[in-house]
Chain A
Amino acid sequence: MTAELLVDARAIRKEFGGLVACNDIDFTVERGAIVSLIGPNGAGKTTFFNMLTGAYTPTSGEIVFDGRDIVGLPQHKITALGIGRTFQNIRLFGAMTALENVLVGMHSRLRSGLFRSLARTPLQRREEKDGRAQARELLAYCGLSPRAEQQYARHLAYGDQRRVEVARALATNPKLLLLDEPTAGMNPKETIAFVDFVRKAREERGLTVLLIEHDMRVVVEVSERVTVLDYGEKIAEGTPDEVTADERVRSAYLGTKPVS
């Protein structure tokens, strides 16, 4: 049973002072699935992401990832266990090149410790060289042109910054990839390309993908299951078709139907 579920979160609750941002949510993700988390602004989606990555510790509840309880683990350990994410507002290391950004993403997979870093042993040099080759591959995989590799991340075009962010997240070698509004700011053509990319990456890299998404076309197109949050409560769950037909979802998104 646990082998099938990559994420098994039980009764997750997060309170900020008196505000309940996540109210006893049960949430599971099957291995290899593409799952969307949707809901109006302030529904608790990003809070939920932050609990998965360890940025927030849940007030109560347990999160089992890949058979391990991750509540209370420091973020860098959770990343090493295999959760990678991108941000809604891109957060690259602006004063580093695209390539360096991806190399930083490989941090937890590399072994050179503080002293090897200082001494620059042969192992460290080889590791660095291999790392560079892999980083180039990843950037190309995510569709960044080789010319952009050496540019500072802050000088890249918006679309390229998104590509670097995804490449950087993949560089942490995640089992679960969290994408926070990945298509925000993309035009329809780019959005379609991105949907194809997510599918391809899932197949080729054995990923499980969890996305927060506002664009319902993307949600319906790409996801196998959808969970809907509203005011910190889970109000619906199921296939995209089931969810879009749900009355509560419609009212959460469009407002309650006026009495006529």
Chain B
Amino acid sequence: MGTGVGTAAASSRRPILALVPRIRSRAVTALGILLLGLVAFWLVENAVHDIGQFGLVTLNGITNGSIYALVAIGYTLVYGILELINFAHGDVFSWGAMIAYSVAISWLGADNHSGIELFGILAVALLCAGAFCATLNVAVERVAYRRLRNAPRLAPLITAIGMSFVLSNAIAVVYGFNYVSSEPLLSRRALFTIEGQSYGWDKLIVLLITVPTLMSLMVVVKRTRWGKAMRATAQNRDAARLMGIDVDRAIAFAFGIGGALAGIGGFVYLVYFTQGRFDLGFQIGLFAFTAAVLGGIGNILGAALGGYLIGFIENYNSGLTWHAPGPSWTESLIFILLILILVFRPHGLLGEELSTRS
């Protein structure tokens, strides 16, 4: 008798219990929409308040975001193919900035040139930084990671952290612990001005370099033989070998591409901020890694998207005036967003395509 009552009660309770997860997921969705709505409202209100400033801050967001995007792709490429977080990547980026400094300023004296000569010098510096970082990243893989490919995951991870210290300290040895800096390379003369706020060549060049770079990257990865080999290796290493792909070279290719992008990012950073130091890559690397995770690690488009997203957060937060939390909150906000994404969408914004790993 007693048991009978018990089962009846349990069965009548069950439908309600079954509703709980559904209600919870609805509540989460509603909260998410509310949050997005608030952010949108805040942005619109700021835009209405001071459209000139809003436009400029947006452009700054694109500029900073470009740098994060370039670096983030290197993290995502390597993770996609080796499932390794290459902590040394931020420091490869630092090397890019320093090499660009050496070539453009110490060696070719870019700060004393203008016009077509300056353009030529910058082009040389860009190529040098890209080539150097590609080589450096490939070398890091060859020396530090290749032998550990079948080791437990923790081993290459620790090695990556070690490699990060080695690379940043090497910069300190070569360039010292202080900032290297120069006069602005490109005239800060405004290309156009919005209500007293100017947008100049120093920002435009970032876009002029980043956008074509990202577009050609997509072509290389999608269409070319080695791009396909790299994707095949990331998706199924055994099958890739059977297709006649030299897996070691495909992995080196991923490191090379990632390194070249980091080098280009370093160059862009130097041209934009005109300074560099051995620990440059720490914060940028952290933001870029966050960007890669936000976008869905392993997904190239996602990494670029995440990079721009972080660029926007950083600049809207520190640049807008109407009820903005202010620059000291930037990092907190970025990592709060990261936590939210990891909790509610663990595979990242565009991460679904990755989950086909069989």
Contact = CB atoms under 8 A, between A and B. Distances in A.
Nearest to A168: B243
B298 to A, nearest CB: 10
Pairs A-B, 8 closest by C-beta atoms: A108-B244, A94-B356, A79-B244, A117-B224, A75-B241, A117-B226, A91-B239, A95-B356
Contacts of B220: 117-118, 120
Contacts of B256: 114
17 contacts: A79-B241, A91-B236, A93-B232, A93-B236, A100-B228, A104-B228, A104-B232, A104-B243, A107-B228, A107-B229, A107-B244, A114-B256, A117-B225, A118-B220, A120-B220, A127-B225, A172-B242
A83 to B, nearest CB: 9
Interface size class on chain A is: 35 or more
Interface stretch (B69-77, B163-171, B245-253, B333-341): B245-253
A100 B223 CA distance: 9
A156 to B, nearest CB: 12
Contacts of B353: 95
Nearest to B224: A117
Interface in B254-302: 256
Interface in B192-220: 219-220
Given A95-B235, A128-B223, A114 B253 contact: yes
A53 B231 contact: no
B240 interface: yes
Contacts of B117: none
Interface string B330-358: 00000000000000000000000110111
A180 to B, nearest CB: 11
Contact of B228 (A91, A92, A103): A103
Interface centre among B220, B229, B242, B247 (most CB of A within 10 A): B242
B245 A95 contact: no
Contacts of A117: 220, 224-227
Interface string A222-245: 000000000000000000000000
A108 B235 contact: no
B238 interface: yes
A214 interface: no
Interface string B30-53: 000000000000000000000000
Interface residues of B, number: 31
Nearest to A53: B242
A88 interface: no
Interface string B59-94: 000000000000000000000000000000000000
Contact of A92 (B227, B239, B354, B357): B239
Nearest to A82: B244
A75 B358 CA distance: 20
A30 to B, nearest CB: 23
A250 interface: no
A96 B235 contact: yes
A112 interface: yes
Interface centre among A95, A120, A152, A168 (most CB of B within 10 A): A95
Given A91-B236, A154-B358, 4 more contacts: A75-B242, A76-B247, A79-B241, A120-B219
Nearest to A104: B232
A178 to B, nearest CB: 9
Given A104-B245, A112-B224, A96 B239 contact: no
Contacts of B238: 55, 91
A108 B260 CA distance: 25
A252 interface: no
Given A91-B358, A104-B245, A124 B239 contact: no
Contacts of A168: 243
